[in-house]
Structure 1
Amino acid sequence: MATLVALASQSQLRRPRPYTPSPWGDFFLNHQTCTPSELLSMKKEAHAKKEKVRRTVMDAIGSNSKDLIRKLELIDTLQQIGVGYHYKEEINEFLHCVYDDKDGGSDDLYVTSLRFYLLRKHGYAVPSDVFLKFKDEQGNVSSDDVKCLMMLYDAAHLRTHGEQILDNIITFNKSQLQSLVTTNLEPDQANEVHITLETPRFRRVERIEAQRYISVYEKKAIRNETILKFVKLDYNILQALYCEELKELTMWDEQATEQLPTNLKEIFINILNTTNKVEKDLELQKNKQAKIFRKMVISTAKFYHAEVKWRDEHYVPTTVEEHLQISLRSAACMPLICLAFTSLSEDVASREEAITWALTFPKIIRGVSIVGRIGNDIMSHEREQALEHVASTVQTCMKQYGVTVEEANEKLRTIIEESWMDIVEECLDGKRPMEVLEKPVNTARTMDFMYKREDAYTLSFSLKDVITSMYVNPV
């Protein structure tokens, strides 16, 4: 606590930045998406529907039918629409059988792409040479079918370093998809192309994608009504849970902390209260790493202080790598991931082992931190120029290479792409269970969504619209 007070006190003479107040105020302290009786009724109905969907899944994947496309699309739909987590065991068993089919499963490019996407997404190191047989005379892999082209593009983004065929698929088909936007596509299909170009499916925040895809699925001529009904119930139940969590996050303590300036008192006390609450909750769970969370908060504050020192000395690091030695830690992705590890089930991996591993700052967590840090710097660069601020990776890149802002941003986006390859590589090496690895992956998805440029996918979602759709309006 003394460390945090000392660091915060150094800012008391500085003019606070003119941030716009939250439009929500204390809205979530009193907001209820449904009454307790309505929630109980939804849970009962959802349980019955969930089991009906489970039978549908088992009947489909357990049949002797050679219709691989129907089985893969069912699994893909359940995951994209947000309920795949209910059927993890069935999905993993099915995908294991699909992976054992070493011939690639099909001579159809769409099926091969979907198979490749689902397997790599779940940590199966299926080789990228499954696409070699689809090369045309010019050496390109592509399709005239829009649905197939988008699936191929999404699949290729689960690439690792050195997979030239996947690099070529992305480069060639990006221009193909961009040209489709100018053709007479149906509005819904054109929107899907826009979204695919902006954010490949593996990188999308799962809950936001589920909210979006429910309306897409609802419009399909061929759909399963039981799945649709269950999905809506499940979404609204989770929405009620999220609102309760937001009430916790919106709570402010009124007591005074005289060591701090007025503009920092409330936020500082809230940090302390939140840290104490997390620590207490972990202790009640008999979690041996309960004390580590407080240490991580203090450690993050120290890295913030290092950046403040750069700012006060008007220091611009010589290289991006020098900048990242400090700023990757101040991005605070590692503490978030460690906290997420406390929800791991003990039969998958011990929480202590996962947290200890995370504290070594492995490649996947470094990659996540790069996505967060550099994405933040690109997005905030223009705004920060109006005020005194620490040199960002954008400014450092400009200094290192003698380039413009736009050129620096392109170089930094290349680093982000390479970091996504690092993330995928660690998901495929088989050293950690996917239940562990999905925590940093989800953090990267969230960072990517938060700091996207304001075009395409994010243009239609202001922050207020996202919060309204996810936490206020039921589907």
Structure 2
Amino acid sequence: MMALPCHIASLPNCGPFKVLSSPQTKPSRFTVQSKISSALHLVSDQNNATVRRSANYQPSSWSYEHIQSITSEYGKESYVEERDELKVRVRVMISQLRSDLDKLEFIDVLQKLGVSHLFDHEIRNMLQHVSAKEYEENRSKIKSDLHTIALQFRILRQHGYDVSSEVLTCFQDEIGNFDFRDIKGMLSLYEASFLSMEGETILDEARDFCSIYLKKFVKENKDSDEILSVMISHALELPLHWRIPRLEAPWFIDLYHRSNHVSPALLKELARLDFNIVQATHQQDLKYTARWWKEMRDNGEKLSFVRDLPTENFFWGVGMASQPELSYFRREMTKITSFITIIDDIYDVHGTLQELELFTHVIHRWDIHSLGILPSYMKICFLGLYNSVNEVALAILKRTGIDIIPCLKKVWGDLCESYLKEARWYNNGHVPSLQEYLNNAWISVGGPVTLVQGYFLQVPDSIMPQDFEYLQEYPNIVRLSSTIVRLANDIASYKIKSDVSKSSNEFDGGVPKSLKCYMKETGASEQEAYEYVYALMCQTWKKMNEAVNNSEFSEGFTEISMNLARMAQYMYQHGDGHSEDSHTNLRMLSLLNNPIPITTSTHIIGLHM
């Protein structure tokens, strides 16, 4: 990977990127995008004969009728009672854990299986016994155990403990080279390295070292040690720290089912049952948001030009906050991502520049008496947004006495202002410098609106007055999360271009805009630009890790901020994760549609522990 040249634009106040609109392609922001034709074409507006572009968005494979037909038996109280009985038995298992390593490995399995939310209290108690102080004091005693050191480092740092990466120096020789060949330990160290912060070069070196040997192990041992090879390959594709436990749970449940020695059978049964129970709650949330979306989009066909993606928009909310008790967050978050999708399509495709300037003006004023200056399709969009935001604000005002309208008005106004700037760039044929691009992109990516409004949705009763003012200035945790979303999307667009180019002589897609800005400014090749953007994303993750570690916000808000960034890694892992027949569609089926089969009763006496 090429080094980051010091003369190139740096992150502006930790700000993110945004793909610039172009005549060739319209990459999505963090919002979802269905399959799109290779080129935009012009259509005539029937109301005023305005010539407009059209993106030819295809319908979602998740039809309204299919969503409403989804059913699950796991919403019954009997299954909840069965899960509660299993929780009691697992708590007994936890109480019998003695060594620090046993506790750490149990916490790790709980997280991978997606059931850690059931044992928050127990996990806190175990971590208190595996403290950072003991970690420092005991490292000399377990110097030869790389797996223990690396796992301890990752789990403790993940949960906010101040742990130094210098403990890894005990695995280096006198000239600084790493000296170990333990594959399990290498996998643990590789995963731990992604929690690094700026300046922790030892973790960068450890990641590079482990990556080489892990790839070699998979190549030479995939048949002789299938389970370990599969786990290594999974980590090399995307590290645990960049993944969301709820979305990963089906994969780990299946893996552990095939490996009898990986985790206790009782825990596997609990994971299957809990997954299905939580899925039943998510299905009800999805049905609610699909009904809302149908009513919103089908209003007189005025918004028929926008992307029809009810499930994909909902998926972001599930990734950010999957806990069953956070239904309100998911339902309202889906409305936010849906409105960002609508407004994105208005600015990118449908609206004329004059209309966009008028719409931006109305958003800033936040006054329904200004509607007269807007065309009918914009009136519907503004009224829908206005009512949705005000409804949330009224609920918050009743519960807390705090008026959040000024804050929400500002973030939506900032978003539209950034969209307008991009529309002007497009109309003028302007390709900005990388720095100019970055200065605007950290807002137009959509992350700030999502996280600021998400703060108020998460736990309304925990709103702090000091946070309210701080949020309006977009703290680093908001800027950095948004940066990662943008960069992940840009990298995905590059992958799409590369894949299509391999199978076709022509590709009308252009270069992703963060890459294009870099290439224009430096004369770098497309591959060099890709490597630079990827390196910048890794650098941003380091900043994000530090921002989370030093955050004064609640643990819940820092988690949804991290999860927004993780969702981008997840959605864009294999290219444009929002295209039809994509990996993402299969993942949505697994998460929202298909329960995990339970073939063995969890009540059988004598179940192997």
Post-superposition offset of 1:346 = 6.9
**Matched residue pairs, number?**
455
Conservation of the 8 A alpha-carbon contact between 1:341 and 1:351: no
* 1:240 matched to 2:280: yes
What does residue 162 of structure 1 align with?
199
Conservation of the 8 A alpha-carbon contact between 1:28 and 1:247: no
Taking structure 1 as the reference length, the TM-score comes to: 0.86
What does residue 97 of structure 1 align with?
129
Q: What does the per-residue CA deviation read over 1:10-64, in whole Å, with 9 as the maximum and x for residues that have no partner?
A: 996332113332111214541333147x53222221222223223322332xxxx
- Residue from 95, 100, 110 that aligns with 1:78: 110
Question: 1:30-429 alignment to 2 at 5 Å?
Answer: 30-35=68-73, 39-60=76-97, 65=98, 67-98=99-130, 99-101=132-134, 102-105=136-139, 106-107=142-143, 108-136=145-173, 139-141=176-178, 143-185=180-222, 186-222=225-261, 223-251=263-291, 252-253=294-295, 254-256=298-300, 263-264=305-306, 267=342, 269=380, 273=384, 276-277=387-388, 279-285=390-396, 286=399, 288=402, 290-291=404-405, 292-293=407-408, 295-319=410-434, 321-345=435-459, 349-350=462-463, 352-381=465-494, 392-429=513-550
Q: Aligned pair in 2 of structure 1 residues 364, 160: CA closer, same or farther (>3 Å)?
A: same
Conservation of the 8 A alpha-carbon contact between 1:334 and 1:365: yes
Conservation of the 8 A alpha-carbon contact between 1:135 and 1:141: yes
Q: Distance in 2 between matches of 1:12 and 1:219?
A: 60
Conservation of the 8 A alpha-carbon contact between 1:117 and 1:158: yes
Farther-moved stretch of structure 1 (246-255 vs 416-425)? 246-255
Farther-moved stretch of structure 1 (40-49 vs 351-360)? 351-360
Q: Distance in 2 between matches of 1:377 and 1:182?
A: 30
Post-superposition offset of 1:453 = 4.0
Q: Distance in 2 between matches of 1:317 and 1:289?
A: 38
Post-superposition offset of 1:210 = 1.4
What does residue 51 of structure 2 align with?
13
Q: What does the per-residue CA deviation read over 1:122-146, in whole Å, with 9 as the maximum and x for residues that have no partner?
A: 1112001111111135523364232
Conservation of the 8 A alpha-carbon contact between 1:82 and 1:210: yes
Q: What does the per-residue CA deviation read over 1:107-159, in whole Å, with 9 as the maximum and x for residues that have no partner?
A: 21110000000011111120011111111355233642322111100111111
Which has the higher relative contact order, 1 or 2, with Cα contacts under 8 A spaced 6 or more apart? 2
Post-superposition offset of 1:451 = 1.8
* 1:462 matched to 2:583: yes
Post-superposition offset of 1:427 = 2.2
- Tell me the amino acid that sits aligned with residue 302 of structure 1: E
Q: Distance in 1 between matches of 2:181 and 2:58?
A: 47
- Tell me the amino acid that sits aligned with residue 175 of structure 1: I
Identity over aligned pairs, percent: 26
Q: Give the match's secondary structure for 2:163.
A: coil
Q: Distance in 2 between matches of 1:194 and 1:137?
A: 31
Q: Give the match's secondary structure for 1:23.
A: coil
Q: Aligned pair in 2 of structure 1 residues 154, 262: CA closer, same or farther (>3 Å)?
A: closer
Q: Give the match's secondary structure for 1:228.
A: helix
Conservation of the 8 A alpha-carbon contact between 2:490 and 2:514: yes
Q: Distance in 2 between matches of 1:463 and 1:11?
A: 38
Q: What does the per-residue CA deviation read over 1:406-456, in whole Å, with 9 as the maximum and x for residues that have no partner?
A: 11010011110111001111122264443331121111100111122459x
Structure 2: gaps of 5 or more residues: 1-44, 309-341, 343-376, 501-505, 597-609
Q: Distance in 2 between matches of 1:77 and 1:262?
A: 46
* 1:450 matched to 2:579: no
Post-superposition offset of 1:82 = 0.7
Q: Aligned pair in 2 of structure 1 residues 279, 104: CA closer, same or farther (>3 Å)?
A: farther
Farther-moved stretch of structure 1 (231-240 vs 183-192)? 183-192
Conservation of the 8 A alpha-carbon contact between 2:103 and 2:126: no
Farther-moved stretch of structure 1 (379-388 vs 389-398)? 379-388
Q: Give the match's secondary structure for 2:51.
A: coil
Q: Aligned pair in 2 of structure 1 residues 265, 361: CA closer, same or farther (>3 Å)?
A: closer
Post-superposition offset of 1:184 = 2.1
Conservation of the 8 A alpha-carbon contact between 1:310 and 1:391: no
Structure 1: gaps of 5 or more residues: 1-7
Q: What does the per-residue CA deviation read over 1:204-254, in whole Å, with 9 as the maximum and x for residues that have no partner?
A: 122111121111222232332332222112111111121222223323123
